[in-house]
């Protein structure tokens, strides 16, 4: 008789464990990285302002120690892909994006992207 009482308890315990673990894995998959959040922010701004071109600036350090951004791409087409932005066949990780600004609107508008990449 005891065996039949233990089995239903064991099945209920197993079922509850599976449900709990499934819930945890779903929650973990919904965690957004900083790059995901930035991509979403950029998508909203780009759509709102109808931006279709991007200029990319990268860090450069002079021998005297001066640090500044230099332009790598000037007003070229781009695509957001996962945690990257593709500009002229080059991929830049959004996690390295230090700042951005929008210039103009629509066809004459573009976004300046400043990456902390040497």
Task: Answer for the pair 59, 67: CB distance below 8 angstroms, yes or no.
Answer: yes
Instruction: Say how many Å lie between the first and final Cα of the chain, rounded.
Output: 73
Buried b or exposed e, range 88-101, using 16+ CB within 10 angstroms = eeeebebeebeebe
Tens digit of each residue's pLDDT (9 = 90 or more) over 66-117 = 889 999 999 999 999 999 999 999 999 999 999 999 998 777 789 999 999 8
State how far the Cα of 67 lies from the Cα of 111, in Å rounded to an integer.
22
∠112-116-117 over CA atoms, to 5°? 105
Tens digit of each residue's pLDDT (9 = 90 or more) over 30-79 = 788 888 999 999 999 999 999 999 999 999 888 787 889 999 999 999 99
Q: In Å, how far are 2, 34, 54, 81, 93 from 72, measured between CA atoms?
A: 75, 24, 11, 19, 15
36: exposed, middle or buried (Cβ count in 10 Å: 0-12, 13-18, 19+) = middle
């Amino acid at each position: 008789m005891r065996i039949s009482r233990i089995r239903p308890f064991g099945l209920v315990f197993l079922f509850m464990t599976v449900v709990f673990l499934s819930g945890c894995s779903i929650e973990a998959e919904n965690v957004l990285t900083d790059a995901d959040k930035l991509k979403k922010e950029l998508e909203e701004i780009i759509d709102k302002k109808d931006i279709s071109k991007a200029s990319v600036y990268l860090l450069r350090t002079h021998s005297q120690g001066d640090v500044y951004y230099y332009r790598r791409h000037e007003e070229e087409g781009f695509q957001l892909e996962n945690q990257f932005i593709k500009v002229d066949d080059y991929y830049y990780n959004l996690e390295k994006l230090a700042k951005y600004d929008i210039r103009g609107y629509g066809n004459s508008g573009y976004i300046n992207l400043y990456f902390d990449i040497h």
